[in-house]
Structure 1
Amino acid sequence: MAGIDVYMVRHGQTYFNLLRRFQGFSDAPLTDAGIQDGHKAGQRLAKIHFDGAYSSDLTRAIHTARYALSENQAQSPVEPTTLPNFREENFGSFEGRDSQVTLTDLNARVPKTYNAYADMVADLGMPVVMDIFHDADPYHLAESYQEFVNRIEAGFKDLKSRHQDGDKVLLVSHGTTIRAIADYFGHPEMAAHPVHNGAVMHLRLKDDGADILAFNDITTVFD
């Protein structure tokens, strides 16, 4: 099959992003720059007619989707439908904490010391790092990798049930979620890199997986 084209956009910059804090299921409002991230992504996707428009049910994703859709010139939906399965990873008790303080805690659980979260993901892989968060959370709220995969698989099953071959879909989600999806579809080298606010990952979703046609893209004007 030709597949369903899914344009996954990371939400715009939030105050937690600006302050370098883990966000996860928690939420923080978009900064002024984050609002512009949404508009800029929408401008680069403005020529595409979307057969469906979706976001995670977290406010930062909903607002980014609205800003992006306000730029659309191809008679796409004006309001996103929320899909909770595409939320960010649940970081449990680490939510809202400074990223470097959290990294210090996680470094105590691995054989070597990492200076940045991105370095840990690049070296150990997204599945392992998700499980480190899960195992380190004293409140047992942080998701394991398998729990994350279960809800993402359910999310894609839901999207497939709503659309048919050849449809184009906008989906505003989150940085770690987008990276983990790239890893899930066979690209750990992509998952090793932080995703820019407002960046696009273009997936062609098929019965047997997905092709990734663009990743972490902040320059292409799509048509």
Structure 2
Amino acid sequence: MIVHLHLVRHGQTTFNRYNRLQGWSNAPLTDKGLADADKAGDKLRDIDFAAAYCSDTTRAQTTAQRILDINEQNGHKRPELHADMHFREQYYGYFEGQDMNVAWWAAGAPHGAPTYNAIIEQYGLGATKDFLKEADPFHDAESDEEYWQRIEGGYALIANNQALHDGDHVLQISHGNTLLSLMHRFAPEGYDLSERPANGSVTCFDFDTAQPIDRAFTVASYNQ
């Protein structure tokens, strides 16, 4: 069974505006963030969604509800919204709410990579998670392994949804680093992943629910 996932990055929050790490933190949407959500809703107004998922953060739930409002106003049946912690952004532990440049310097500088992009270029995206956990004095930040174990649990929830059928469309409200992580793991060559997904952007995957997770996703579009 293949379902079509429409992953929307939530609208801009105050932490996005202030360039602060925002994983499990719960900063509210700005006025621009509400407009981001409405813009995504307008893009998706003609899609008939069979299901909708988001993380249990306020920014994701608010974005989802505004998209579903627009979708319903355009004549579509409104699916139940499933909010679950498995769909949360990467957990940054001690560095939650920290200025991003300061946090990534703390993570990468001991390894000779003082910025987020430098860590990726020298060590790969997974190292951004492992280095941040290492730099966290409490070691509460998620490692790459811990992160993927949780994220894969979220997609197991979708795969096990008995109400879904082959060809159905599913809305999922996602997060910036999670979208990048999915793209780094599953995208073929040719995508510019130096460009972060914008708030309110739409990324589409075909999800083969019968396949093991490493072969389950095909990228249809990124950061639209």
TM-score over 0.5 for the pair: yes
- Gap regions ≥5 residues in structure 2: none
Using the alignment, how far apart are the partners of 1:140 and 1:68 within structure 2? Answer: 36
SS of match in other structure, 1:134: helix
Matched residue, 1:196? 198
Matched residue, 1:62? 61
Q: Cα RMSD over matched residues?
A: 1.8
- Aligned partner (choices 198, 201, 216) of residue 209 of structure 1: 216
- Judge which range, 55-64 or 205-214, deviates more: 205-214
TM alignment of 1:89-168, pairs within 5 A: 89-114=90-115, 117-162=116-161, 163-168=164-169
Matched residue, 1:169? 170
Aligned length: 214
Using the alignment, how far apart are the partners of 1:38 and 1:76 within structure 2? Answer: 19
TM-score (norm 1): 0.89
- Matched AA of 1:42: G
Using the alignment, how far apart are the partners of 2:36 and 2:119 within structure 1? Answer: 27
- Amino-acid identity (%): 36
- Matched AA of 2:159: K
Using the alignment, how far apart are the partners of 1:79 and 1:118 within structure 2? Answer: 38
Cα shift at 1:69: 1.1
Using the alignment, how far apart are the partners of 1:166 and 1:113 within structure 2? Answer: 44
Cα shift at 1:83: 2.2
Contact 1:49 1:74 in 2 (8 A): no
- Matched AA of 1:18: R
Using the alignment, how far apart are the partners of 2:196 and 2:130 within structure 1? Answer: 19
